[in-house]
A and B are shown apart, each in its own frame.
Chain A
Amino acid sequence: MAIQVQYYLLLSAAMFCIGLFGILTRRNALLFLMSVELMLNAANVNLVAFSFQYGNITGQVFSLFTMALAAAEVAVGIGIILVLYRNFKDVDVTKAATMRW
């Protein structure tokens, strides 16, 4: 095997952290969604890499499920962001704060 498996873990951890950073700092709901996608893809990197490592396809199949779910989640999310825009005239997630935290 050319690339050692630890490097995949590093790559996925980096992707996960970039996504998490985006979620914590971005105020635009669409960028928030993209950051979540990045985090889900970090999981996919792990799954595919270790699927190769162990020689079973469980991880690859599960990564397909993850992608499908990510798409479904975005579909619901875009719908919610649309009604957010209609009600608050903005997609800034911090604007929707009529209830006390």
Chain B
Amino acid sequence: MATTLPTWTALGPALLLGITALVLLIVDSIDPDTSNSTLLAGLSTVGSLAAFLFAGWLLVSGTGQPQTGGAITLFDDQLVVDGMSLFFALIVTSVATLVTVASHDYIADQPYQAEYYSLVMMAATGMTLMGSANSLATGFVSLELASLPSYALVTFLKKNRGSVEAGLKYFLIGALSSAVLAYGISLVYAASGHLQFDAVASAVANTEFVGVLGIGVLFVLGGFAFKTASVPFHFWAPEAYEGAPAPISAFLSSASKAAGFVLAFRVFTTAFPELAGLAGGPVTVDWVLAVEVLAVLTMFVGNFAAATQEKVKRMLAYSSVGHAGYVLIGLAALGGAPDKGFVLGASMMHLFIYGFMNTGAFLFIGLTEYWDIGRTFQDFNGLAKQAPLASVAMTVFLFSLAGLPIGGGFFSKFYLLAATAQSGTWILGAALIINSALSLFYYTRVVKAMWIEEPVNDFEIDSYPAGIYTAVIVAAVITFLLLPAFGLLSPSAVTGAAALF
């Protein structure tokens, strides 16, 4: 680059999101009773879109990547900006944009809208920072910055018992898992004397407290399992996603999950690679094996539970647990893989595409909640006659989630399968194939209800909310476009991941 921006601008996406949150609070303090949802949704959409474009520009111009001199570290190595953090900033901001656009109609009748958008932006700030965290301290603080607004957002419909119950369960399990994570971090600190990832990595290589360290690593893994909705801390997910307002379910199941994964990727590949022998040394704490077990369990639990659900939103919630299992392959298959960047990059690509297809699917549920047509599979019968465009979009999402070549989900699952083949972890590959086949069964139930079945109840759809429609259709178009355009993005994911090893 001819002119170089100061290094702090590499944090631009997070800063833009944070500023947007504060601007929304200022608007709220000037006019506390405002219900001008167009202004509020517009501001937050502009903010998150600006953050998205800025992150995209930084990624394309090579900021923090090997060709421009490697990762940019800030604040005494506490934060880092590199290919991976920018890639995840892209995921979080794109989901946040879709969610704020869709919320315009969804919460139009609710009070406290400025707080809602402000909390969404704060949570997005935390999630973006999680991608940049380079120390257990900043990682923990940004994880909480993402979590605390999420609890409030899930409980946003204060008079709706489902929403309150969902928020309570999410909060209780979230508080428990953050305590577990904090305790795990304290044990890692006890064994190493450091919190910064590189310093931890060099200190744990010859620590005398291997037992303490092992428990610490497992606790940290447990804390991340909560954030990513993986077994054993997955059981909040179906409750929280079912009870929460649908745009918030979309936000949590896509962006929050991605943020949990990026922190897990960074912690385990930069702070603990030696423990599992990834750098060629002896294996002391075999977290790769632990993640492998968790990945297989998460895939099976998520998909089998999804197959038995009666409500579409709950089915999607369990399928989101199953997808966390697919993404865990990126860590679980690191063991014997010759090209570790490809393995982790496959997971990152899956999260990126998942960000669009899953957000879109939950926003479609938001659309049906807006129409108030019911929550079970039967209630969706004959929906395609009334709302063909949205039904086409939903079909694209569901088949892409299942891994059919109608959206980018096909290639990302293919990459994950190739990653398991490369590392020789055949059990992960087999679990991926079995569960994808199973998932096709329950996704098809929704498609069948929408397109083939005759409607049971007579319902008339009298309004077509522009905001939710726009978000759903944009998400569908991008999901579809990511099929041909997969090759454009995957190199940046793979090089971003490869820079960690």
Contacts and interface: CB of A to CB of B under 8 A. Distances in A.
A62 B165 CA distance: 32
A69 B172 contact: no
B190 A36 contact: no
Nearest to A48: B186
B56 to A, nearest CB: 32
Given A40-B179, A62-B195, A76-B171, A96 B165 contact: yes
A47 B166 contact: no
A3 to B, nearest CB: 15
A77 B171 contact: yes
B235 interface: yes
B137 A73 contact: no
B178 interface: yes
Contacts of A66: 140, 182
A99 B162 CA distance: 7
A14 interface: no
A83 interface: yes
Contacts of A77: 151, 171, 175
Nearest to A47: B186
Given A50-B193, A72-B148, A65 B166 contact: no
Interface in A64-94: 65-66, 69, 72-73, 76-77, 79-81, 83-84, 86-88, 93
B221 interface: no
B270 interface: no
A50 B186 CA distance: 9
B164 A80 contact: yes
A70 to B, nearest CB: 9
Interface stretch (B86-94, B100-108, B152-160): B152-160
B180 interface: yes
Interface string B181-199: 0110111011001110000
Interface string B222-263: 000000000000010011001100000000000000000000
Nearest to B242: A99
Contacts of B185: 43, 62
Q: Is the interface of B mostly helix, strand, loop or mixed?
A: helix
Contacts of A49: 190
Given A36-B175, A43-B185, A80 B161 contact: no
Contacts, number: 130
Interface string B351-362: 000000000000
Contact of A72 (B144, B186, B243): B144
B168 interface: yes
A7 B158 CA distance: 46
B182 A43 contact: yes
A2 interface: no
A65 B137 contact: yes
Interface residues of A, number: 47
Nearest to B159: A87
B22 interface: no
Given A12-B186, A33-B175, A99 B195 contact: no
Contacts of B137: 58, 61-62, 65
B178 A73 contact: yes
B176 A23 contact: yes
Contacts of A42: 183, 186
A73 B144 contact: yes
Interface in A38-57: 39-40, 42-47, 49-50, 53-54, 56
A98 interface: yes
B144 A69 contact: yes
Contacts of B171: 76-77, 80
Contact of A59 (B164, B165, B167, B189): B189
Contact of B141 (A65, A73, A79, A88): A65
Contact of A80 (B151, B159, B189): B151
B159 A46 contact: no
Interface of B: 136-137, 140-141, 144, 148, 151-152, 155, 158-159, 161-162, 164-169, 171-172, 175-176, 178-180, 182-183, 185-187, 189-190, 193-195, 212, 235, 238-239, 242-243
**When A and B form their complex, which 10 residue pairs have the shortest distance between CB atoms, in order from nearest?**
A46-B186, A39-B179, A54-B193, A43-B186, A43-B182, A96-B165, A50-B190, A43-B183, A36-B175, A87-B164
Interface of A: 9, 12, 16, 19, 23, 29, 32-33, 36, 39-40, 42-47, 49-50, 53-54, 56, 58-59, 61-62, 65-66, 69, 72-73, 76-77, 79-81, 83-84, 86-88, 93, 96-99, 101
28 contacts: A9-B212, A12-B186, A33-B175, A36-B179, A39-B179, A40-B179, A43-B179, A43-B183, A44-B186, A46-B187, A56-B194, A62-B136, A62-B185, A65-B141, A69-B141, A73-B148, A73-B175, A73-B178, A77-B151, A77-B175, A79-B155, A80-B164, A83-B155, A84-B164, A87-B159, A93-B168, A96-B165, A99-B242
